[in-house]
């Protein structure tokens, strides 16, 4: 079975015939062989693949990011740039955080042996070295079940023993019969060891955004505040900016943002 799944993954990647492939309830020996092959040949980032493996579920998702998939990454990086422009992030703070991506595989407890590649993350740096886990994680892709959304956030928040503070899940719905695409942003935190998830509608857009998502300095820097950043600093995120970037890319691909 492993050989068949690997052939399917490599064929899909070569043809770019889809943005993701999902395999459920894999036998541990099968998943081990697949992961060994994917991780042993070449850096998955060079291949353009992002791996999400939840060991206790035997759940494997391989993502081949598209331009639409990446709009949330562009948005988050633009917001980060605005925090710098507005003086919320001082030079000392900028030097104390990294957005370098890697495959994370040191999860603990129930999520031991899991593997995750985020679309974007921010990790504090101590003496120039990134912490074992990031504090902020962004994942983007086509909608999964509500149970799988919660499982993805559990892996980051609980599997890191609370080191990851906030998980952003940007999800797109496949076009409906009117060629419209719906989009949502879920912001997840761990509260009393349970997942607290706030959902924001991107498309269709509400008449007015009653609330906007934000990150606190404590969450971003894990309580180790760089020079010039106060403990009460809050980094707001513009839903309008995400709406604009996502909407333009949806139209460029021949679809319509859901109205």
Q: What is the pLDDT, as a whole number, of residue 113?
A: 95
pLDDT over 60 (residue 44): no
CA-to-CA distance for 72 and 137, rounded, in angstroms?
A: 12
Structure pTM?
Answer: 0.93
| 172 token code pair | 């797109």
Point out the domain boundary residue: 18, 42, 64: 64
Radius of gyration of the chain (CA): 19
| 234 token code pair | 């809050």
Percent of the chain clearing pLDDT 70 (strictly above): 97
Q: Are residues 172 and 224 in the same domain?
A: yes
Over residues 175-216, the pLDDT tens digits come to 999 999 999 999 999 999 899 999 999 999 998 888 899 999
Q: Are residues 176 and 243 in the same domain?
A: yes
Q: Are residues 37 and 71 in the same domain?
A: no
Q: What is the pLDDT, as a whole number, of residue 143?
A: 81
**What mean pLDDT is reported for the chain?**
92
SS (H, E, C) the chain: CHHHHHHHHHHHHHHCCCCEEEECCCCHHHHHHHHHHHHHHCCHHHHCEEEEEEHHHCEEEEEECCCCCCHHHHHHHHHHHHHHHCCCCCHHHHCCEECCCCCECCCCHHHCCCEECCCEEEEEEECCEECCCCCEEEEEEECCCHHHHHHHHHHHHCCCCCCCCEEEEEEECCCCCCCEECEEEEEEEEECCEEEEEEEEEECCCCCCCCCCEEEHHHHHCCCCCCCCCCCCEEECCHHHHHHHHHHHHHHCCCEECC
C-alpha distances out from residue 151 to 92, 167, 168, 188, 200, Å? 35, 12, 13, 11, 19
CATH code at position 11: 3.30.1370
Q: Are residues 105 and 171 in the same domain?
A: yes
Over residues 210-255, the pLDDT tens digits come to 889 999 999 999 988 999 999 999 999 999 999 999 999 999 999 9
More confident residue, 11 or 135: 135
Q: Are residues 103 and 148 in the same domain?
A: yes
Q: Are residues 144 and 19 in the same domain?
A: no
Q: Are residues 40 and 87 in the same domain?
A: no
Residues of the domain holding 14 = 1-64
Q: Are residues 200 and 145 in the same domain?
A: yes
Q: Are residues 179 and 222 in the same domain?
A: yes
Q: Are residues 47 and 83 in the same domain?
A: no
Q: What is the pLDDT, as a whole number, of residue 127?
A: 80
Over residues 100-134, the pLDDT tens digits come to 888 999 999 999 999 999 999 999 998 888 999 99
Total count of domains within the chain: 2
CA-to-CA distance for 99 and 163, rounded, in angstroms?
A: 16
CA-to-CA distance for 165 and 212, rounded, in angstroms?
A: 18
């Amino acid at each position: 079975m492993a050989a068949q799944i690997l052939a399917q993954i490599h064929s899909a990647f070569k043809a770019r015939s889809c943005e993701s492939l999902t395999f459920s309830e894999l036998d541990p020996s099968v998943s081990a062989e697949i992961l060994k092959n994917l991780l042993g040949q070449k850096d998955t980032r060079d291949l353009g693949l992002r791996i999400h493996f939840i060991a206790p579920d035997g759940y494997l998702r391989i993502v081949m990011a598209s331009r639409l998939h990446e709009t949330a990454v562009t948005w988050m990086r633009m917001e980060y740039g605005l925090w710098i422009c507005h003086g919320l992030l001082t030079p000392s703070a900028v030097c104390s955080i990294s957005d370098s991506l890697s495959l994370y595989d040191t999860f603990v407890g129930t999520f031991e042996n899991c593997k995750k590649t985020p679309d974007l993350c921010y990790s504090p740096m101590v003496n120039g070295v990134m912490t074992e886990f990031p504090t902020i994680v962004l994942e983007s892709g086509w909608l999964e079940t509500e149970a799988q959304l919660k499982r993805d956030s559990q892996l980051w928040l609980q599997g890191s023993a609370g080191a990851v503070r906030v998980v952003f899940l940007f999800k797109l719905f496949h076009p409906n019969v009117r060629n419209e695409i719906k989009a949502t942003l879920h912001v997840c935190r761990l509260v009393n060891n349970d997942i607290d998830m706030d959902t924001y509608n991107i498309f269709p857009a509400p008449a007015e955004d009653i609330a906007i998502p934000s990150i606190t300095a404590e969450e971003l820097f894990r309580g180790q505040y760089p020079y010039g950043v106060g403990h009460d600093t809050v980094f707001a995120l513009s839903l309008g900016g995400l709406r604009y970037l996502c909407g333009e890319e949806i139209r460029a691909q021949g679809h319509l943002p859901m109205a």
